[in-house]
């Protein structure tokens, strides 16, 4: 009875078929340099507020940390399907050479890709789900803003500001 429950049951044997063949996904090769200093700055100042608002589909909260031209995936959110985001790890990839230990000086228009591991609570099962994302951020007048988000292990769409959303 759908008025009481939305649980599904499989009746009979599960069949497995070959998947549809599609084009091979593009290989993501991150820039050679990482910026751990920027990673710690944006983790608390940008990414934590973003994921909190994004999980709740809080449009006002999302608007505070996203660029005006942010892609739909960054603006829509998760509709409270996942809650209580806790960032486990952030790696920021940059085109600036950080090998000498000198922090880069970012200018307006610069972009970086943050690879983020987030632990969410699943309210329906009271369990924890760890998820990986690639978040494209752009510097706008010394303020980092989210431009796009994509799954961490599946697509490089969020790693390239010149690609468009599907």
Q: What is the DSSP pairing of strand 111-122 with strand 83-94?
A: antiparallel
Chain mean pLDDT for the chain: 83
Residues, the chain: 166
Q: Provide the CA 113 distance to its chain's centre, in angstroms.
A: 10
Question: Which pLDDT value is given to residue 127?
Answer: 86
Q: Which residues pair with 122 in a beta bridge?
A: 127
Phi (first) and psi of residue 38, to 5 degrees: -65, -35
Confidence of residue 152 (pLDDT cuts 50, 70, 90): confident
pLDDT in tens, 6-38: 555 666 666 665 566 566 656 667 778 999 999
Question: What are the structure tokens assigned to 71, written together?
Answer: 């892609």
Contact between 111 and 136 (Cβ < 8 Å): yes
Q: What is the pTM of this model?
A: 0.76
Exposed, middle or buried, 130 (CB in 10 Å: 0-12/13-18/19+)?
Answer: exposed
Question: What three-state secondary structure class fits 36?
Answer: helix
């Amino acid at each position: 009875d759908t008025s009481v429950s939305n649980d599904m049951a499989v009746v009979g044997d599960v069949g497995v078929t070959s998947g549809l063949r599609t084009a091979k996904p593009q290989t993501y090769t991150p820039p050679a340099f990482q910026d751990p200093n920027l990673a710690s700055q944006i983790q608390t100042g940008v990414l934590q507020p973003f994921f909190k608002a994004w999980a709740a589909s809080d449009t006002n909260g999302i608007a505070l940390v996203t660029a005006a031209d942010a892609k739909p995936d960054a603006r829509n959110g998760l509709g409270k399907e996942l809650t209580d985001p806790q960032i486990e790890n952030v790696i920021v990839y940059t085109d600036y050479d950080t090998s000498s230990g000198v922090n880069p000086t970012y200018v307006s228009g610069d972009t970086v890709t943050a690879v983020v591991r987030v632990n969410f609570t699943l309210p329906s099962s009271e369990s924890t789900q760890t998820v990986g994302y690639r978040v494209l951020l752009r510097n706008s007048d010394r303020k980092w803003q989210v431009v796009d988000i994509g799954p961490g292990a599946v697509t490089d769409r969020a790693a390239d500001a010149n690609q468009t959303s599907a």
